[in-house]
Amino acid sequence: MTFEFTATVLGSPRIGPKRELKKAVESYWAGKIDAAALESVAETLRRENLKALVAAGLDSVPVGTFSYYDHVLDTAVLLGSLPERVQHIADEKDRYFAAARGNDTIAPLEMTKWFDTNYHYLVPEISSTTTFSLHPQKLLDELKEARALGIPARPVVLGPVTFLLLSKSIDDARLLDRLEDILPLYADLLKQLADAGAEWIQIDEPALVADRTSDEIDSAKRTYDYLSALETRPAILLASYFGDLGGALPVLASTGIEGLSIDLTAPGTVEQVAAVPSLATKRIVAGIVDGRNVWRTDLDRSLATLASLLGSVGSLAVSSSCSLLHVPYTLDGEDGIADPLRSWLAFGSEKVAEITVLARALRYGTDAVDSELSAARAASATRRADPRLHDASIRARLDAGLSVDRSSAEERRRSQTLGLPPLPTTTIGSYPQTTRIRVARAALRNGEIDEAEYLRRMKAEITEVVALQENIGLDVLVHGEPERNDMVQYFAEQLNGFAATTNGWVQSYGSRCVRPPILFGDVSRTGAMTVDWITFAQSLTDKPVKGMLTGPVTILAWSFVRDDQPLSESADQVALAIRDETVDLQAAGVRIVQVDEPALRELLPLRAKDKEHYLRWSVRAFKLATSGVADSTQIHTHLCYSEFGEVIDAIVALDADVTSIEAARSHMEVLDDLNRVGFDLGVGPGVYDIHSPRVPGVDEIAESLRAALKAVPAERLWVNPDCGLKTRGAAEVEASLRNLVEAARSLRE
Ligand code: GLN
Ligand code: ZN
């Protein structure tokens, strides 16, 4: 009989409540601390996390979820499959970080989004010559460390099917064929973990919540038939999260695994569980507390859901829907968030507390948690009644059915008289965020300078950037975005309906963290947000300066969003605020407005059946944001960070007069894709990659432009870099842009 735990989470944040790991890792990279110092920071963070989880009342605690950089990279290490180009590095940490970040001579692994979250993982590379071998030391050490503290530890690994499905095939080898090579390693691992005292192991298979071929589902079945048939092993908890297992659910349930975690925050999962008879012998780990959002759980509703499951499954434990990696650590110290908003929220530690409350209620009845239930009810009552969530004037404007269509592209083209040369040159928005800018922002925050001095300094930056662009000879200028800490946070701070945290950091990748704003209410502007900056920049030059805004989809994608209304409604509200801003910019004499949507691809749902709906509302929101202006105002948009295949029709539907798009790394392929779907508006494929400090030569840029001209007629082609320049150094930016302008000029002749 295996130990029947009742309350757990699927994983924890690891960057540290005060970003201790980030700081330690970066110091280590800079050579300021040694490996021992780094390890000691890591060990303290792990221990404190474990102890806190047990103290809160969890009776099974995940271990092995700690990572110095990324858990998928850790899995590649576990399976001995780091790419050949780092294998010669003798020091284990140096090798690991070289694979993660590269160095002067070694390219790092590619990085991409972890399902539909804002976390990014490193993509393991597998070729037909890759060999696998087991390196379980990290996991065994962390298990031992936890057990020594008396923690009811449950080792966690990424499952073999997901590992292979997330990897990249270097020579077109079929990745799932490699299952035969890695399954014996997992078998060995399970045995070693059982010998080391693990009663349960959690094997994560989130890839199974996306659309999968029958081949892939068969592979999953084969995997879990095999692993569950092993003689010496811990009980297996197969963890699914980020959605419903769909057709994979009955298949997995038919294997000999002991437990299965189900994301109960995903629509339809309760019914799916009830419909699979073989779950009557399994332990279901109920992912009822949302691990990806920041809202307090509706305990009454959750208890009703859990109660409805009790009859159809073997036994039940309460958990988070996914790892708590995706939410901030705690509300403690968030003194800037006042009640009642604060009472509506639950970050990591508050979610753990909710899980234990639900588990206690299941075990001892609701009387045992009476005060917690009352508190949750009171919070939800104030939330429902709060006037900030129901702004009648915003809703009336949206209900009035604003038109989201502009005149035909041809009509707009005729009225947009900007006097630009063919192949106009421009940049994407930001210029280098220099130390000077950061110092000024910090000084304002700490009260060392006042608002007026801050304004003066930012205007000095803008003056410099405008002069630089004129000197370089660019045709359409930008103000450089010095006043923006971040392209979403900057707007969230000014809009009604958003709140900011002081310490709500969430790991984005490696040592990089973000602090997403919280969208809690109806959205509106308190006034113009960007007009003063843009008109100031425009006053310095006769060339057109682009107004620069972030689009509604990107603002939502990089925030924690409301869960009390569909995302599409929140998108429309944000879009309306952006629309108001475009109209104000136009009234102030701005002739080009760029509305960035780099995250358009990011929010695309995992399952095909949900994609169309998403694309419909996201395109509509963008059009709502950009259709309030006259024909004579030219709308630009900017897209990046992705392969655009699945959103290519949506790009056409955005109907922006000019679309700048990341293209340098994929050799302008996106232009052919756009042609195939009949795109006939202005397009600026990035002619050089801004992710590297390298200065592209004139010939090289001209070469890219010639390639672009094969796909796009000169009247529609714009010349610009791949993305904003804020992370680059001033000298390389200037040199690159001079070459870009020269290349455009040479082609004009
Ligand atoms: N306008 C933004 C900038 O240049 C766009 C950034 C982005 O695409 N991520 O920084
Ligand atoms: Zn970009």
| 159: three-class secondary structure by DSSP | coil
87 in the same domain as 141: yes
326 a known binding residue? no
Residue 303 is assigned to a structural domain of this protein: yes
Q: Is residue 690 within 6 Å of ligand 1 at its C-beta?
A: no
Does the annotation list 723 as a binding residue?
A: yes
Q: Is 472 in the pocket of ligand 1 (CB under 6 A)?
A: no
- The closest of 108, 125, 107, 114 to 169, measured between CA atoms, is 125
Name which residue sits closest to atom 9 of ligand 1, judged by CA. 598
In this structure, the chain runs to a length of 749
Ligand 2 mean position, distance from CA 404 (Å): 25
Q: Would you say residue 397 lies in a domain? A: no
Using the atom order of ligand 1, give the atom closest to the CA of residue 640.
8
Whether 609 has a binding-site annotation, put simply, is no
The response to whether 20 counts as a known ligand-binding position is yes
Q: Say yes or no: 443 and 298 in one domain.
A: no
- Looking at the fold, whether 370 and 435 belong to one and the same domain comes out as no
The pLDDT of residue 255: 98
Given 390, 613, 667, 691, the catalytic residue = 691
| Cα–Cα distance measured from residue 305 to residue 309, given in angstroms and rounded to the nearest whole number | 7
Instruction: Tell me the CA–centroid distance for residue 486 and ligand 1, in Å.
Output: 9
Ligand number nearest to the C-alpha of 546:
1
247 with 368, same domain: the answer is: yes
Strand 512-514 to strand 506-509: parallel, antiparallel, or no bridges (unpaired)?
Answer: antiparallel
ipTM: 0.99
Residue 576 Cα, ligand 1 centroid: separation in angstroms?
21
Check if 324 has its Cβ closer than 6 Å to any atom of ligand 1: no
Rounded CA gap, 385 and 526, in Å?
A: 22
Q: Is 205 annotated as a binding residue?
A: no
Judge if the beta carbon of residue 728 lies within 6 A of ligand 1: no
Catalytic (active site) residue 88? no
- State the helix-helix crossing angle for 71-78 and 92-101, rounded to 10 degrees: 130
Q: Is 551 in the pocket of ligand 1 (CB under 6 A)?
A: no
Beta carbon of 595 within 6 Å of any ligand 1 atom: no
Nearest atom in ligand 1 to 594's CA: 1
Mutate to test the pocket of ligand 1, among 430, 465, 545 (most ligand atoms within 8 A of CB): 430
- What would the two tokens of residue 45 be? 């963070």
Tokens 């390639």 — which residue?
707
- Which ligand has the minimum distance to the alpha carbon of residue 549? 1
pLDDT (0 to 100) of residue 183: 98
pLDDT value for 12 = 97
CA of 740 to the centre of ligand 2 (A): 17
Q: Are 629 and 593 in contact (CB under 8 A)?
A: yes
Does residue 327 have its Cβ closer than 6 Å to ligand 1? no
CA distance 574 to 569: 9
Distances (CA, A) of 735 to 14, 100, 431, 693: 40, 29, 13, 11
Nearest CA to ligand 1 atom 6: 724
Assess if residue 557 is contained within a domain: yes
Q: Which of 385, 415, 442 is the last residue of a domain?
A: 385
**444 and 376 co-located in one domain:** no
Is the residue at 712 inside a domain?
Answer: yes
Question: Domain holding 541: CATH number?
Answer: 3.20.20.210
The reply to whether 378 and 430 lie within a common domain is no
Is residue 547 lining ligand 1, measured as CB closer than 6 Å? no
Q: What count of Cα atoms within 13 Å lies in the side-chain half-sphere of residue 747? A: 29
- How large is the greatest C-alpha to C-alpha distance in the chain, in angstroms? 82
Closest CA to 305 of 284, 288, 285: 288
Cα(113)–Cα(673) distance, rounded to whole angstroms?
A: 22
Q: Based on the fold, state whether residues 339 and 446 are members of the same structural domain.
A: no
Q: Report the distance separating Cα 720 and Cα 744, nearest Å.
A: 10
Here the tokens at position 52 are 């806190």
* 598 within ligand 1 shell (Cβ under 6 A): yes
Ligand 1 atom at shortest distance from the alpha carbon of 638: 8
So what's the pLDDT on residue 220? 98
Does 418 reside within a domain?
Answer: no
CA angle 439/445/450 to nearest 5° reads: 90
Q: How many Å apart are CA 588 and CA 582, to the nearest integer?
A: 10
428 marked as part of a ligand binding site: yes
Q: Within this chain, do residues 153 and 257 fall inside the same structural domain, yes or no?
A: yes
Residue 201 lies in a domain: yes
Ligand 1 close to Cβ of residue 429 (< 6 A): yes
CA of 562 to the centre of ligand 1 (A): 25
Determine if ligand 1 sits within 6 Å of the CB of residue 723: yes
What distances in angstroms separate CA 293 from CA 131, 385, 561, one per listed residue? 39, 21, 7
Q: Would the annotation count 430 as a binding residue?
A: yes
**Average pLDDT by consecutive 10-residue portion of the chain (749 residues)?**
87 97 97 98 98 98 98 98 96 96 90 93 94 98 98 98 96 91 98 98 98 97 98 97 97 98 96 94 97 98 96 93 98 96 98 98 96 97 97 96 94 96 98 95 95 97 98 98 95 97 96 97 97 98 98 98 97 98 98 97 94 97 98 97 87 98 86 94 94 92 96 97 95 97 96
Q: Say which amino acid occupies 363.
A: R
Strand pairing class (592-596; 546-550): parallel
Pocket test for ligand 1, best of 487, 490, 558 (most atoms within 8 A of CB): 487
For 203, the enclosing helix (H) or strand (E) is strand 200-204
Q: Closest residue (by CA) to atom 4 of ligand 1? A: 724
Protein residue with least CA distance to atom 1, ligand 1: 429
372 annotated to a ligand binding site: no
Ligand 1 pocket test, candidate residues 428, 481, 725, 727, most atoms within 8 A of CB: 428
Closest ligand 1 atom number to CA of residue 550 = 1
Output the CA 744–ligand 1 centroid distance in Å: 22
Give a yes or no: residue 140 inside a domain: yes
Residue where one domain finishes, among candidates 385, 405, 434: 385
Structural domain of 740? 423-487+528-748
Number of domains in the chain: 2
Residues 352 and 429 placed together within one structural domain of the fold: no
| 87 and 189 fall within a common domain | yes
Whole-angstrom distance, CA of residue 201 vs CA of residue 372: 31
State whether 220 and 334 are in the same domain: yes
DSSP 75-126: HHHHTT---HHHHT--SHHHHHHHHHH--SS-PPPPEEE-TTSS-EEE--EE
Does the beta carbon of 597 lie inside 6 Å of ligand 1?
no
Q: Do 280 and 380 reside in the same domain of the chain?
A: yes
pLDDT at 200: 98
Instruction: Give the C-alpha separation, 581 to 569, whole Å.
Output: 19
The last residue of a domain, from among 332, 357, 385: 385
Amino acid letter, 563: D
C-alpha pair distances (Å), 547 with each of 140, 287, 316, 458, 634: 55, 44, 54, 16, 10
Residue 592 lies in a domain: yes
Q: Which ligand 1 atom lies nearest to the CA of residue 639?
A: 8
512 has binding-site annotation: yes
The ligand 1 atom nearest the CA atom of 724:
4
Structure-token match 């499905």, residue found: 165
pLDDT of the residue at 582: 98
